[in-house]
């Protein structure tokens, strides 16, 4: 089996599972925390919006870093941003500072941007005929995360005196493991430059298939983010708590109280 035979692919698969575990913890809890801390309810989803901005802003710098120093350095640095962002968010929750909680996800967004390169790093570790399988295996790490992340989020929620702050410490811990794994990734060398980045970008954007792929990706991401932002808030307002054993409908929960652990 390709996953068992290729050490680099195993590292990237595990790193992908770790990243998506971090992402799912953030997606599940951030808007709930936001509505509890925000000065006005309209700002509840600001932290997730900042995360997306952090992702967007850091994609190109990470690509340039990997262009100059290789995948191992770029992917390790991205995961370290996840560690710092998780700890900063945990601190903001602990002291009840909304603006720290709102800005910390920008660093986690850099981690998200770096994790999007895992599948491309996988392509460099296999023969041309195995590239499709390699990319699919790395992306499949998200399936493992879907099984692990909810348990980590629920189990770490009350790890610290202030509810949910422990979950972000756990997020930082997962990102730290990912950073360590990326330092173990064999560096396949630094790709040769084929021209200035602006010239390459302009050449790519002239191709209709590239423009179409960008539009489809933007639409898909927009729909995904909309659903993922709204669902935790909708469930909380309808009386469903984070813990599965507490998921019983209670009309009195239509108004959130600050960090109510079990409604």
For the chain, the domains span 2-191
Higher pLDDT, 61 or 261: 61
pLDDT category of residue 194 using cuts at 50, 70 and 90: low
Poorest-confidence range of 105-114, 165-174, 229-238, 249-258?
A: 249-258
Average model confidence (pLDDT) across the chain: 82
pLDDT category of residue 191 using cuts at 50, 70 and 90: low
Higher pLDDT, 232 or 118: 118
Structure tokens of 258?
């600050």
State residue 183's pLDDT score.
Answer: 92
pLDDT category of residue 238 using cuts at 50, 70 and 90: confident
- Rounded CA separation 118/138 (Å): 7
pLDDT at 60 over 70: yes
- Check residue 163 and report its DSSP letter: T
Structure tokens of 177?
């493991």
pLDDT at 250 over 80: no
> Going by C-beta distance under 8 Å and a sequence separation of 6 or more, which residues neighbour residue 40?
none
Percentage of residues in the chain with pLDDT exceeding 90? 33
Poorest-confidence range of 169-173, 228-232, 241-245?
A: 241-245
**Alpha helices (H) along 184-207:** 197-205
Task: Please state the pTM of the whole predicted model.
Answer: 0.80
Residue-wise burial string across 144-181, b where 16 or more C-beta atoms lie within 10 A, e elsewhere: bbeebbbebbbebbbbbeebbbbbbbbbbbbbbebbeb
Q: What are phi and psi of 128, to 5 degrees?
A: -55, -35
Poorest-confidence range of 125-129, 224-228, 233-237?
A: 233-237
2-191 maps to which CATH number? Answer: 1.20.1250.20
């Amino acid at each position: 089996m390709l996953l068992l035979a290729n050490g680099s692919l195993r590292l990237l698969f595990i790193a992908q599972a770790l990243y998506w575990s971090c992402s799912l913890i953030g997606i599940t809890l951030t808007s709930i925390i936001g509505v509890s801390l925000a000065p006005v309810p309209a700002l509840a989803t600001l932290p997730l919006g900042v995360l997306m901005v952090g992702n967007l802003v850091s994609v190109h710098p990470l690509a340039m870093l990997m262009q100059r120093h290789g995948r191992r350095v770029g992917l390790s640095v991205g995961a370290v941003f996840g560690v710092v962002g998780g700890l900063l968010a945990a601190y903001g929750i602990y002291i009840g500072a909304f603006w720290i909680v709102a800005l910390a996800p920008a660093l986690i967004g850099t981690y998200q941007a770096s994790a999007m390169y895992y599948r491309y790093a996988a392509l460099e570790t296999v023969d041309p005929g195995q590239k499709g399988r390699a990319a699919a295996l790395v992306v499949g790490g998200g399936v493992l995360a879907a099984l692990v992340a909810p348990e980590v989020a629920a189990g770490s929620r009350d790890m610290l005196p202030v509810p949910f702050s422990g979950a972000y410490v756990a997020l930082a811990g997962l990102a730290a493991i990912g950073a360590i794994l990326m330092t173990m990734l064999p560096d396949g060398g630094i790709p040769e430059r084929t021209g200035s980045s602006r010239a390459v970008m302009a050449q790519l954007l002239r191709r209709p298939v590239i423009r179409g792929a960008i539009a489809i990706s933007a639409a898909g991401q927009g729909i995904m983010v909309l659903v993922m932002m709204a669902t935790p808030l909708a469930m909380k307002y309808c009386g469903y708590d984070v813990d599965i054993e507490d998921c019983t409908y209670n009309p009195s929960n239509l108004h959130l109280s600050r960090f109510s652990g079990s409604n």
